[in-house]
Structure formats: structure tokens, C-alpha cells
Amino acid sequence: MSALLNYKREGHGAPVVLIHGLFGDLNNLGVLARELKQDHDVISIDLRNHGRSFHSEEHSYSLMANDIIELLEELNVKHPIIIGHSMGGKVAMKLCDYDYPIQKLVVMDMSPVKYDTRRHDNVLAGLNAVCQQTPKTRGEAMAVMSEHIEMEGVRQFLGKSLYNTGEHMGWRFNLKGLEQNYMQILDWQPIRKTETPVLFLKGADSDYLQADHQQQIQQQFGQVKVHIVANTGHWLHAEKPNEVLRAIRKFI
């Protein structure tokens, strides 16, 4: 697929690429973009099947990494710092499997491992319910989701991808494609060992990045730093933006 990803580019300086997670879009890491663009060339990306990027039946880390390399080459971006959250963190790590030169890597609350737990079944149920019930307003869509998704913060996050199709509210992301490829998203094929320096940022209350992942991390990355952000979960950049930014700035 040669279609280029949708992106937003802001600021001047050394290039930084921001990659969102599952069901997100390029605005998810906006809190980082707003601060980093003061002295960096910040490129925020909508991954395939998300935001305003193209929809495809195929969704894998290799394909997503290829999409990003294609865009960065088109934009003539050299030696970027890559920052990815959750699924976007896996995409960021996958980029190290290619001959594309990366300066540094920041991975937010994600490990280079296969996850066995399906964490999104209630989310998928809520998203599909919105499709089936075709609510006319945002408020109605949020109410439909609340029947399946307990956490208000998760509903608010998902609600950012709602838009008016002209007839009812719908999702900007490709729900069908993502649901069909869900096991691919949980999966991971180890990358060849890289010496690209990487900072893993872990939300202290999150279980995505675990102590028993250490061996797999060391098999794939030769230069690793880990920073734990206290009193925060998987959405560490939203919950503790200042601490996350401090850690990123110190690393880069």
C-alpha cells in the first residue's frame, strides 16, 4: 500500500516522531507534542486504520513500521527520535528491525513481547454497540458505550474518535479491520538485537511492562534504560505529563 499516512508537523529542530496506541489518533500524544515542538521538529502520525489515515484489512507491526518509514523518507526526515505509546510503542520498536537509522527510542508502557490476555473485549463490545445502535449525537454514543465500558477515562478517550457520518455517529478508526487483526496486535515477533538506545517508561500501576519481560527486552535491546512513573497506569502521559516529559527530556 503506497498511500501515505496522515500526519501533523510542528516546530523546528531535531526530528521527533510520535506514535499513538490502539483506537487512538495523532492527537493522543498532543501533550508531548505541544511541549517538544518548542525545540524539535515534531511529527505526529495517524497509524493505518486510525484517525484520518487509510483503512486496510491488513494490520501488522511490519506493515505499520513500513508505513512510517515510507512517510519519513517522503518527508526527508533523518535520524529521528521515536516515541510510541502502547501499540505505538511496539511499532516504534519494530522500526529497529529495518535499516532506517533511528537516533533514540522512547517506549511508553509496552514490552517487546506477545501478550496472551485479551484486555479489550469490553471496549470492542462498546464500540460495536455504537455501530449497531447508530446514535445521532455524541451524548447518545457515550451512553451506549457506558453500558459496556466501566471506566469513564476510557470512554472519554474512545469518544475522541467519534464523528458525524452525516446520518449518525461513527468511528474514525477501522473497527472491523482492527477487531479482525486483534490477535496480531497482541502478538510480537522478536526483532534482531539493536544498539539503538531505548528508554522504557512504565506506569507503576500498569501491568503491561513486567519484571519477567526483562530477559526478552535484553535479547532485543543492547542499551536499555527504564523509568517508572509513580501513581500512574497505562495512560501515564495523560495522567503525569510533566513527569513523563522530564524523563523524555533527560533521555534525549
The residues annotated with a catalytic role in the active site are 86, 234
How many other CB atoms sit within 10 Å of the CB of residue 250? 10
How many other CB atoms sit within 10 Å of the CB of residue 91? 28
Q: Read off the C-alpha cell for 223.
A: 542499551
Please report, to the nearest 10 degrees, the dihedral formed by the alpha carbons of residues 130, 133, 137, 143 taken in order. -60
Q: How far from the centroid of its chain's Cα atoms is residue 22's Cα? A: 6
C-alpha radius of gyration, the chain, whole number: 18
Quote the CA–CA distance of 59 and 38 in Å, as a whole number: 33
Helix (H, G, I), strand (E, B) or coil at 64: helix
Please report, to the nearest 10 degrees, the dihedral formed by the alpha carbons of residues 17, 86, 109, 210 taken in order. -140
Task: Give which of 121, 95, 117 is closest to 196, Cα–Cα.
Answer: 95
